[in-house]
Amino acid sequence: MYSRSNNPARHHVNWAIRLMVLPALLSGAPAHADKLPELPKLSEIRLPKLPEMPKLPHNLQIHGFASQGWLKSTDNNVFGQSSSSSGSFDFREIGLNASMRPLSNLQFSVQGLSRTAGEGSPGNIRLDYGFIDYTFSNQENSQFGIRLGRMKNPLGFYNDTRDVPFTRPSILLPQSIYFDRTRKLAIAADGAHLYGEYRSDYGDVSFQAGIVRPLVQGAEAEAAVFNGSQPPGHLTPNMSYVGRVNYELDGGRVRFGISATQLNMGYSPGVGDPLQAGAVHFIPLVFSAQYNAERWSLTSEYAIRFLEYKNFGPALPNLDFAGESYYFQGVYRFTPEWEGIIRYDALFTDGDDHSGKTWAANDAIQMAKRGLPGRPAHSRFAKDITVGLRWNITPQFMLRAEYHRVNGTGWLSTLDNPNPYATVQHWDLFSILGSYRF
Amino acid sequence: MTIKIKIRRLILFVCLLFSMTPAIAIAGATEPYEVITHPGINEKSLPRSALRAIFGMRLHTWPDGTAVKVFVMPDDAPLHAVFSKEKLNVFPYQLRTAWDRLVFSGTGQAPETVASQEEMLAKVASTPGAIGYLTKSRMDGRVNVLQIK
């Protein structure tokens, strides 16, 4: 497996561990310090002073972020040609948002986003969210309200701000749950949300529930739904449901969440399409838990995803299966500036076929009819061990580095890896990311 | 073989992490301070959960309907850390995470950061609905003190 002694990955791991331990040693010494121990400030490095934002009118806030990543993999492509000798710089996230609160119970929010991430996200500017939020009840211990427009889907701990590097625990979110492959479907939708919160000494309970129309336009959504193939027709949005309940104890020291979504899509066949006007139902259920101490945070999420394909005709027989994912993640704050992360993340496209062998045996029969060999079983799972480091150079600038050792190709984008036979089961990924925000 | 070595390294790594824990002590050794409000606010005391909701930017109005305006010191200011831990019982990074979630999902706004205690006093004294915190020695009659139950 990943511990073969002649494996070059070991050296990466060793290097990454040393990288993480070094600041720990450096900063662990001053035991009597009044404040948190700090690394030398590198005061000779002067970051460019950015111009101060002009004074904004009452209750208008403008925030934004920009990030650039570099990815290098031994095999397989993540966000561009990462397996090429120079790696891939094809990973950029730029966002700008504005919010205004003309009344204490009314807020307007809008965010534009440009995301470049390989073939699936070419960097076009799009509306990430834009909605009206009206709080119709705001009491000392509770609030209830409604949002109308395009909202982020409440899914797990990270979906709401998944494209904002500062809010992520790592450069790549745990891909088992936050697939970049199906991000467009999962990220946001148009419709109406109700939300509410009740606060007491026994913790805070909050919920969001909505009726929405999923965003299904674009090759990425179709490639995700049809496992890499691009049929001539297109997906159509049907009424869908999103919901999440969170419980936070002691101001968020302990957090629990349950999210349930039912995304419903139709299919409108194209000219000469082998597929008929079928329907797809995607129902992810996510259970989330987190413990936050001063120095460390432990997070785990478990997801089960029901996926159903119906009435596409003989070219795509009815399918009904449940995928399974989970991760365990530990974050340690050496100082307010330095943070380390370690994570184990596992994805199984079909929870009843963890090894993918049953699927592969069937696929071999299907592909043989077209004179092709079966696709590899390792495309049906991915087990990813991640270690990473975050350096908050200033509150506005952040640098990150991380290393992934992955067994399986289950979450790889089929657009960046069009040839399934060329994918490699055991592979390494290294990434660096710099990010600025205001 | 190599698995064993790896596990040993991992254990060593984890031990190193936890061995540092006693070295953490954001001192409580700052000057006495108070939660302060604009003089127009009639509230004399608030439960901790309400104070947490206000600084978590989830409670937007005072009982009389005035809009709440929250002022904080920078994340790394010692007074901010002490206030967060003692009055709210949360760590500054948790507040930052919560504010970021609101700001970048559009479901809320961030508090206004002031650069100094002088600015804190000036802003809270002059902004209707304002709430903040300040060391006692810098306070004057221009702001009210809020007790936390």
Please tell me what DSSP assigns to residue A230: -
Architecture of the domain spanning B31-148: 3-Layer(aba) Sandwich (3.40)
Q: Residues 74 to 93 of B: which have CB under 8 A from any A CB?
A: 74-76, 78, 88-93
Among A33-42, A189-198, A255-264, B26-35, the range scoring the smallest mean pLDDT is: A33-42
Cα gap B70→B53, rounded to integer Å? 11
Facing residue for B91 by CB, picked from A99, A109, A294 = A294
**Extents of the domains making up chain B:** 31-148
Q: Do B20 and A27 lie within an 8 Å CB cutoff? A: yes
- Check whether A295 has a pLDDT greater than 80: yes
Could you tell me where the DSSP H helices lie in A29-76? none
Is the Cβ–Cβ distance between A115 and A121 less than 8 Å?
yes
Q: Do A5 and B1 lie within an 8 Å CB cutoff? A: yes
Predicted pLDDT at A120: 80
B103 touches A at CB < 8 Å: yes
Q: Do A295 and B108 lie within an 8 Å CB cutoff? A: no
Among A206-220, A273-287, A346-360, B96-110, the range scoring the smallest mean pLDDT is: A206-220
Measured between CA atoms, how close is A378 to chain B, in angstroms?
23
Give chain A positions within 8 Å (CB) of B52: 199, 251
Q: Which of A246, A250, A254 is nearest to A197 (CA)?
A: A246
- Check whether B21 has a pLDDT greater than 70: no
Q: Which domains, and CATH codes, for chain A?
A: 60-437 (2.40.160.10)
Mean pLDDT of chain A: 87
Among A14-18, A431-435, B19-23, B135-139, the range scoring the smallest mean pLDDT is: B19-23
* Total residue count of chain B as it appears in this document: 149
Indicate the pLDDT class of residue A99, thresholds 50, 70 and 90. Answer: very high
Strand order in the sheet with B33-37: B45-46, B144-148, B33-37, B130-135, B69-72, B112-113
Facing residue for A99 by CB, picked from B19, B49, B106 = B106
- Tens of pLDDT along A182-200? 677 788 999 999 999 999 8
Give chain B positions within 8 Å (CB) of A140: 46-47, 50, 59, 63
ipTM above threshold 0.90: no
- Tens of pLDDT along B72-129? 999 999 999 999 999 999 999 999 999 999 999 999 999 999 999 999 999 999 999 9
Indicate the pLDDT class of residue A404, thresholds 50, 70 and 90. Answer: very high
- Check whether A116 has a pLDDT greater than 90: yes
Facing residue for B16 by CB, picked from A21, A104, A133 = A21
B128 touches A at CB < 8 Å: no
With 0-12 / 13-18 / 19 or more C-beta atoms within 10 angstroms meaning exposed / middle / buried, residue B76 is middle
- Average pLDDT value for residue range A101-122: 92
Indicate the pLDDT class of residue A226, thresholds 50, 70 and 90. Answer: confident
Is the Cβ–Cβ distance between B143 and B39 less than 8 Å?
yes
Give chain B positions within 8 Å (CB) of A195: 107
Nearest residue on chain B to A159, alpha-carbon basis: B105
Q: Do B103 and A61 lie within an 8 Å CB cutoff? A: yes
Structure tokens at A323: 């995928």
Higher per-residue pLDDT: B4 or A27: B4
- Check whether A336 has a pLDDT greater than 50: yes
Predicted pLDDT at A2: 39
Tokens 């990955």, residue located: A9
Predicted pLDDT at A317: 87
